[in-house]
């Protein structure tokens, strides 16, 4: 009896195994949202489609000396509704948001995590800044009371990977566990990386998305110092105006968007509802500047093209783009230019919207909620609007689904995220057809 396969049979087995894994299709079977527009998909999605704004005056701290006094705060959230009372007291808000959205998404999917699948179920989330508020609080304690009074929970409460860590503890997911910290592209990178993890066979299910909760003095002061934020304080709901001629900066938002990704085979076996299929993921680096996008959107264009290539589809097949659309002068201009580079004449007929006009910019969490929005657009055949698009400019002259949601059949959609450091990510989703 041959104990070891021959070199030929071994190589054939390896190739066959890889082909089986690389051919695995990945679908979205559950979604969860915590956003400035509401808690849960049932509250956020209708508000988004109605063109409502979640931007209001900051209540977390005194903004008297700040240039920007507005943000997209989550209202009415109670951590103890999703965590034990003890954990709620010693857990940062971004972790609580991630746990809440993950529990919602898992319940929505109908998936039960138990001993039969726990080791094949992973958690991967994106987060840009982590526990910034506990850093501020701890520095005050250190300065006024000394090092002996620093809480032993300081480090665990601060680091970004505690979001997927605590999610895995609460949900019992023991597969791949990691956090992505690629600034404003983090949530999209997390979803894309999870897609690849399932495709290559390292997991069968991934709980993934993005989270952020940094409406704090240092965050607002830092972005103000960069002249990145809107100062339209007298009219908060009109402040975030992507692609509009009068845009003057972005608005910081907070919350979490989580998706349950799993193999198509697994989803069909358990009769799961399928929102959409993940079919393409692209990444690129600008190699240009620490905060400004590369001129003419060159880096973003390569990222968008990489996602289309990975999905093996043409730009002519895309029905909707959920744009990064931050409401800053350079991002909106260069993203428009990038879309024109890749989509050519189709750029003028593809529907584009920036949901940041309503939620603000969740930084590392943006790609999470926007991936959920994109899958819901496909599932519901509704494209949410770009609100506050009142004054078109010569440079930003595409179809931004201005101010009113649009009923449209959406077969294929894309979501873009671009971050400081020139890190870019794009995802492609498509409608699942059981035929």
Exactly one of 127, 219, 303, 324 is catalytic; name it. Answer: 324
Where are the strands (E) in 319-422, listed by range? Answer: 320-322, 351-353, 382-383, 406-407, 412-419
Exactly one of 49, 127, 184, 219 is catalytic; name it. Answer: 184
Residues 6+ apart with CB under 8 A from 139: none
Within 10 Å of residue 112's Cβ, how many Cβ atoms? 10
Active site annotation includes 289: no
For residue 430, the surrounding DSSP H or E stretch is strand 423-430
Active site annotation includes 184: yes
CA distance 95 to 255: 10
Asked whether the CA dihedral 52, 130, 89, 121 is positive or negative, the reply is positive
- Between the two ends of the chain, the Cα-to-Cα distance in Å is 44
Where are the strands (E) in 121-170, listed by range? Answer: 121-126
Q: Are 59 and 71 in contact (CB under 8 A)?
A: no
The string over 25-64, giving b where at least 16 C-beta atoms fall within 10 Å of a residue's C-beta and e elsewhere, is: ebbbbbbbbbbbbbbbbeebbebbbebebbbbebeeeebe
* 352 φ, ψ (degrees, to nearest 5): -130, 135
Exactly one of 219, 303, 361, 396 is catalytic; name it. Answer: 361
CA distance 212 to 160: 9
CA distance 176 to 146: 38
Residues 6+ apart with CB under 8 A from 373: 45, 48, 257, 322, 355, 384, 415
CA distance 82 to 393: 45
Residues 6+ apart with CB under 8 A from 307: 280, 281, 282, 414, 426, 427, 428
Read off the tokens for 215. Answer: 């409406």
Specify burial of residue 97 (Cβ count, 10 A radius: 0-12, 13-18, 19+): buried
Q: Catalytic amino acids?
A: 184, 324, 361
């Amino acid at each position: 009896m041959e104990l070891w396969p021959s070199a030929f049979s071994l190589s054939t087995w390896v190739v066959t195994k890889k082909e089986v894994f690389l051919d695995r299709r990945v679908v979205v079977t559950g979604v969860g949202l915590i956003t400035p527009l509401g808690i849960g998909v049932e509250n956020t999605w209708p508000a988004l489609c109605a063109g409502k704004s979640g931007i209001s005056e900051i209540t977390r701290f005194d903004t008297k000396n700040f240039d920007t006094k507005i943000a997209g705060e989550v209202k009415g959230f109670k951590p103890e509704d999703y965590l034990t009372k003890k954990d709620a007291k010693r857990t940062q808000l971004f972790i609580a948001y991630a746990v809440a959205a993950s529990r919602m998404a898992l319940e929505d999917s109908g998936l039960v995590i138990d001993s039969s699948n726990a080791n094949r179920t992973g958690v991967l989330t994106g987060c840009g800044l982590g526990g910034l508020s506990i850093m501020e609080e701890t520095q005050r304690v250190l300065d006024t009371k000394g090092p002996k009074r620093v809480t032993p929970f300081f480090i665990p409460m601060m680091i970004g990977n505690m979001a997927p860590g605590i999610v895995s503890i609460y949900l019992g997911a023991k597969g791949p566990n990691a956090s992505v910290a690629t600034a404003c592209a983090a949530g999209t990178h997390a979803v894309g990386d999870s897609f690849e993890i399932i495709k290559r066979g390292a997991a069968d299910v991934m709980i993934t998305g993005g989270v952020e909760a940094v409406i704090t003095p240092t965050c607002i002061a830092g972005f103000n110092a960069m002249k990145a934020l809107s100062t339209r304080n007298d009219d908060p709901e009109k402040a975030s105006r992507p692609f509009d001629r009068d845009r003057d900066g972005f608005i910081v938002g907070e919350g979490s968007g989580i998706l349950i990704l799993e193999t198509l085979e697994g989803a069909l076996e358990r009769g799961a509802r399928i929102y959409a299929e993940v079919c393409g993921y692209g990444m690129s680096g600008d190699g240009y500047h620490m905060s400004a996008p590369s001129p003419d959107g060159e880096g973003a264009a390569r990222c968008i093209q990489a996602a289309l290539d990975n999905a093996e589809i043409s730009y002519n097949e895309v029905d909707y783009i959920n744009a990064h659309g931050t409401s800053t002068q350079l991002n909106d201009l260069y993203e428009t230019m990038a879309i024109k580079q890749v989509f050519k004449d189709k750029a003028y007929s593809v529907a584009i919207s920036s949901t940041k006009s309503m939620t603000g910019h969740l930084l590392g969490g943006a790609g999470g909620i926007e991936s959920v929005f994109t899958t819901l657009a496909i599932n519901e055949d509704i494209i949410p609007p770009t609100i506050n698009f009142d004054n078109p400019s010569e440079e930003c002259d595409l179809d931004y689904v201005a101010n009113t949601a649009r009923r449209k059949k959406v077969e294929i959609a894309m979501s873009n995220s671009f971050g400081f450091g020139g890190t870019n990510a794009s995802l492609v989703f498509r409608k699942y057809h059981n035929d």
